[in-house]
Amino acid sequence: MVREVAESCVDTMLMEMVAMYSGRFYANKPELAARRIEAIGYQVGHQLSERYTMERPRFSDHLEAIKFICKDFWSEVFKKQIDNLKTNHRGTFVLQDNKFRWLSRVSIDPSPEKETEDPLSTPGESKAAQAVSMYLYFPCGIIRGVLSNLGIPCAVSADISSLPTCSFVIRVKA
């Protein structure tokens, strides 16, 4: 039987991790906090992928590996699959989760000037949006960790146009 813990254990731990790095350690340096949080996610993704791919054959191409994330990996971690996968067939993949669990209880003031927030850019975004984007570095790091462990170096960003829908954009490095 798969061992489980209460969801609130993971939820509160992630909240505290973000609060610790973006509130206490690097309150005035969000980019440093972001890098640390991403690194923690990377480590987790790296280790989880090792466990979940133990008994599978090697993935034949990038798409196979991405599909593994959408189906098997997402199911293990979030108990659901990615809802929509798009690709331009040139190394960019967009994974859309219509009800991303780690954002399902997050609310945000709709800022009239700008609705889409990208955690890797946009200076001058509203404080609230920045706070939400802090939570996204962790799953972005996880995805990057999984793919890099499968031999696919990439950059991952997230896009939250309408909460709790969340899209992860993977750009495979050529």
The residue ranges that bind other proteins (CB under 8 A) are: 2-10, 12-17, 19-20, 25, 36, 39-41, 43-44, 47-48, 51, 76-77, 79
Partners of 87 in the beta sheet? 93
Smallest distance from the beta carbon of 106 to other proteins, in angstroms?
A: 15
- Tokens matching residue 116: 């889409």
Nearer to other proteins (CB atom), residue 9 or residue 63: 9
Smallest distance from the beta carbon of 129 to other proteins, in angstroms?
A: 23
Is residue 94 exposed (0-12), middle (13-18) or buried (19+ Cβ within 10 Å)?
A: middle
Smallest distance from the beta carbon of 76 to other proteins, in angstroms?
A: 6
Smallest distance from the beta carbon of 86 to other proteins, in angstroms?
A: 26
CA atoms within 13 A on the CB side of 2: 7
DSSP letters, 24-75, are IISTT-HHHHHHHHHHHHHHHHHHHHHHHTTTSPPPSSHHHHHHHIIIIIHH
Q: Please, are residues 106 and 127 in contact by the beta-carbon 8 Å criterion?
A: no
Nearer to other proteins (CB atom), residue 39 or residue 85: 39
